[in-house]
């Protein structure tokens, strides 16, 4: 078979919605795009542990503490599935970490915002996990098999996270005046960054077309963003809170909510490293990695010693 035949077989699979598997031939760019996207997603899960980890020791009740701990642990698990999925494309986890620590690989910018109140644990679950679900449900049918399967497992847990987050806010919104203030203040901070999670608008998203063609992506950034706005407005009403956007209005004709313009300058600033916590997040990850070096070295040395010993034992026997 020539490269052209391979390409044709690949295109056919994509068109017929047959999953691409690790051993299948795939175009270099498809592989590269997937490695970039999946590793970026994995990094987001891991860096995403930090802003919520920030409140584990301060959770206001033992039940909430247990739920939060379990949630952050889930995110670590998501990171693990995704790193494994990316590894099937021929990159190692250590290489991906290296890219994260040197700033070559990105992660979701939302995690560069600080968590300053307990209500943020609710707002992140509701809005951030909520926005993630919009993206990820679409990815459950993405063309690369291992990625799609990882997404199915992850999506189940993410929707659980979203409900738990919303429940935190619901409880607080039924509480005292000051708790309602805390909820509103948190929504004010997280709303716009959550909308930014869907990425640049379609006319500014150069990769979208190719990704749609490969069925890596199923919907455009703007389509998903709109869908998110539509469901979130209703949920916000139930909380008795306001979304911080004066332009937010039901558009009868479109059958969707209209909403205001995203602050793209802020978006690009945070993407490019100037968010409130970019440095802290990266420093925390790098520190964990560097502090852990001697531990990983020890584990490796020990397992090699054991192999040696068992070899000797088999020889002796």
Partner 1 sequence: MKNQILYTLQLADNALIYGHRLSEWCGHGPVLEQDIALTNISLDFLGQARGFYQHAANLFNALPQADKQGMFLSVTLEEKINKGENIDEDDLAYLRDGWDFRNLLITEQPNGDWATTIARAFYIDIFNHLYYTRLQKSSDLQLAAIAEKSLKEVTYHKRWSSEWVIRLGDGTEESHAKMQTALNDLWPFTGEMFRMTDIEKEMASNKAGVDAAALYNDWKQQVTTIADEATMQLPDSTWMQEGGKDGRHSEHLGYILAELQFIQRAYPGMEW
Q: Assess 118 for contact with partner 1 (CB under 8 A).
A: yes
What would the two tokens of residue 48 be?
A: 């995403």
Complex with partner 1: residue 1 or 178, whichever CB lies closer: 178
Asked if 241 contacts 187 with a C-beta cutoff of 8 angstroms, the reply is: yes
Residues 215 and 197: their CA atoms lie apart, in Å, by 20
Q: With contacts defined by CB under 8 A, how many residues of the chain interact with partner 1?
A: 48
Compute φ and ψ for 234, nearest 5 degrees: -65, -45
Binder among 210, 299, 311, 312 for partner 1 (CB under 8 A): 299
Residue with tokens 């997040």: 281
Report how far residue 110's alpha carbon sits from residue 126's, in angstroms, rounded to the nearest whole number: 13
Nearer to Fe ion, 78 or 217 (CB): 78
Choose from Fe ion, partner 1, none: what does 233 bind? Cβ within 5-8 Å by kind: none
- Select the span of 23-31, 86-94, 96-104, 157-165 touching Fe ion (CB under 5 A): 157-165
Q: Which one of Fe ion, partner 1, none is in contact with 245 (Cβ closer than 5 to 8 A by kind)?
A: none
Contacts 24+ apart (CB under 8 A), 287-294: 289/97, 289/101
* Partner whose footprint covers residue 161, from Fe ion, partner 1, none (CB < 5 to 8 Å by kind): Fe ion
Contact partner at residue 314 from Fe ion, partner 1, none, CB < 5 to 8 Å by partner kind: none
Task: For the chain, give percent helix, strand, coil, nearest 5.
Answer: 70, 5, 25
Query: In the set 35, 137, 172, 243, which binds partner 1 (CB under 8 A)?
Result: 172
- The option from partner 1, Fe ion, none interacting with 132 (CB < 5 to 8 A, set by class) reads Fe ion
Beta strands in the chain (DSSP E): 249-251, 256-258
Q: Which does 66 bind (CB under 5 to 8 A by kind): partner 1, Fe ion, none?
A: partner 1
C-alpha to C-alpha distance for 181 and 80, rounded to whole angstroms: 37
- Restricting to residues 31-70, name those near partner 1 by CB under 8 A: 46, 49-50, 53, 56-66, 69-70
Work out the widest C-alpha separation in the chain, in whole angstroms: 83
Q: How near is the Cβ of 55 to Fe ion at its closest, in Å?
A: 15
Binding status of residue 77 toward partner 1 by CB under 8 A: yes
Give counts: helices (H), strands (E), the chain.
14, 2
DSSP symbols for 115-172: --STHHHHHIIIIIIHHHHHHHHHHTT-SBHHHHHHHHHHHHHHHHHHHHHHHHHHHH
By CB under 5 A, what part of segment 51-110 binds Fe ion? 75, 78
CA dist 296 and 298 (Å) reads: 5
Q: How far is the CB of 130 from partner 1 (least distance, A)?
A: 21
* Residue ranges that bind partner 1, judged by CB under 8 A: 46, 49-50, 53, 56-66, 69-70, 72-73, 76-77, 79-80, 83, 118, 168, 171-172, 174-176, 178-179, 284, 287-288, 291-299, 301-302, 305
Residue ranges binding Fe ion (CB under 5 A): 45, 75, 78, 129, 132, 158, 161
């Amino acid at each position: 078979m020539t490269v052209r035949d391979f390409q044709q077989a690949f295109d056919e699979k994509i068109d017929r919605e047959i999953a691409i598997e690790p051993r299948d031939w795939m175009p270099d760019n498809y592989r590269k795009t997937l490695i970039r996207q999946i590793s970026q997603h994995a990094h987001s899960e891991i860096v995403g542990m930090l802003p919520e980890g920030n409140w584990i020791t301060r959770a206001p009740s033992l039940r909430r503490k247990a739920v939060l701990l379990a949630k952050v642990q889930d995110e670590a698990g998501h990171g693990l599935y995704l790193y494994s999925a990316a590894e099937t494309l021929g990159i190692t986890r250590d290489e991906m970490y290296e890219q994260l620590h040197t700033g070559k690989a990105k992660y979701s910018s939302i995690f560069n915002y600080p968590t300053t109140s307990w209500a943020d644990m609710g707002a992140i679950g509701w809005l951030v996990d909520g926005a993630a679900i919009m993206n990820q449900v679409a990815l459950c049918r993405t063309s690369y098999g291992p990625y799609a399967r990882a997404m199915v497992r992850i999506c189940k847990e993410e929707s659980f996270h979203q409900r738990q987050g919303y429940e935190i806010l619901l409880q607080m919104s039924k509480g005292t005046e000051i708790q309602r203030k805390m909820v509103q203040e948190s929504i004010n901070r997280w709303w716009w960054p959550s909308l930014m999670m869907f990425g640049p608008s379609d006319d500014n998203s150069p990769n979208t077309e190719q990704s749609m063609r490969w069925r890596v992506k199923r919907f455009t950034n703007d389509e998903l963003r709109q869908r998110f706005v539509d469901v979130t407005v209703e949920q916000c009403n139930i909380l008795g809170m306001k979304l911080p956007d004066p332009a937010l209005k039901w558009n009868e004709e479109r059958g969707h909510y209209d909403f205001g313009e995203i602050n793209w300058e802020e978006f690009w600033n945070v993407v490019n490293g100037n968010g409130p916590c970019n440095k802290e997040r990266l420093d925390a990850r790098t520190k964990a990695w560097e502090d852990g070096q001697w531990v990983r070295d020890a584990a490796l040395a020990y397992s090699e010693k054991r192999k040696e010993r068992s070899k000797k034992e088999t020889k002796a026997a």
